[in-house]
Amino acid sequence: MNATAIINIAKAELAIDDDDYRDLLERVTGQRSLRAMSERQKRDVLDELKRLGFRVKTSRPARTASKPYIRLIHALWKNCQRLGVIDNGSREALRAFCARFVDQGSGNVAVDPDLLSYDQASPVIEALKKMEARGLAAERKRGRHG
């Protein structure tokens, strides 16, 4: 987000009226308009707004895996949860599931699915595909007889 947008958000969140806002801009930079300011001056205004109590809220971008086979693991896991094949669809449960394949169940290693190699991910994917197939079959059966 650019400095101008953040300053406007800060102005609204701090409930600064227009006259006080213009006075603040002039006091900090000598300019009464953001349009006339350099980026450095805008950063100075932002610093002053922070001093007055504004806090920049950052949102963490969604974590998306860069490798298709890792995205497939996450998609299969979510679908298995949707189908009722797994009860706990949490990230921790997925890590435990992956550990059974990578760590052979010793329980000594937390296995982040996002860090698996293709060779490590392949048996996890195959197991999830089988679980998904069972869930889809049960869903079709419920649809016919439910």
The tens digit of pLDDT for each residue in 54-79 reads 887 766 655 666 789 999 999 999 99
Tokens matching residue 42:
């805008």
Instruction: Please count the other Cβ atoms lying within 10 Å of the Cβ belonging to residue 138.
Output: 13
Q: Are 14 and 54 in contact (CB under 8 A)?
A: yes
How far, in Å, CA of 53 to CA of 49, rounded?
7
Asked whether the beta carbons of 114 and 70 are under 8 A apart, the reply is: yes
Q: What is the pTM of this model?
A: 0.54
Categorize the per-residue pLDDT at 123 as very low, low, confident or very high, splitting at 50, 70 and 90. Answer: very high
Do 27 and 85 lie in one domain? The reply is no
40 in the same domain as 75: no
Share of the chain above pLDDT 90, in %: 50
Task: Supply the pLDDT for residue 61.
Answer: 57
Same domain, 31 and 90: no
Residues 22 and 84 in one domain: no
Tell me the residue type at 100. Answer: R
Is 58 part of any domain? Answer: no
How long is the chain? 146
Domain containing residue 132:
68-145
CA-wise closest residue to 99 among 80, 86, 83, 115: 115
Say whether both 45 and 80 belong to one domain. no
Q: Tell me whether residue 28 is in a domain.
A: yes
pLDDT attached to residue 104 = 66
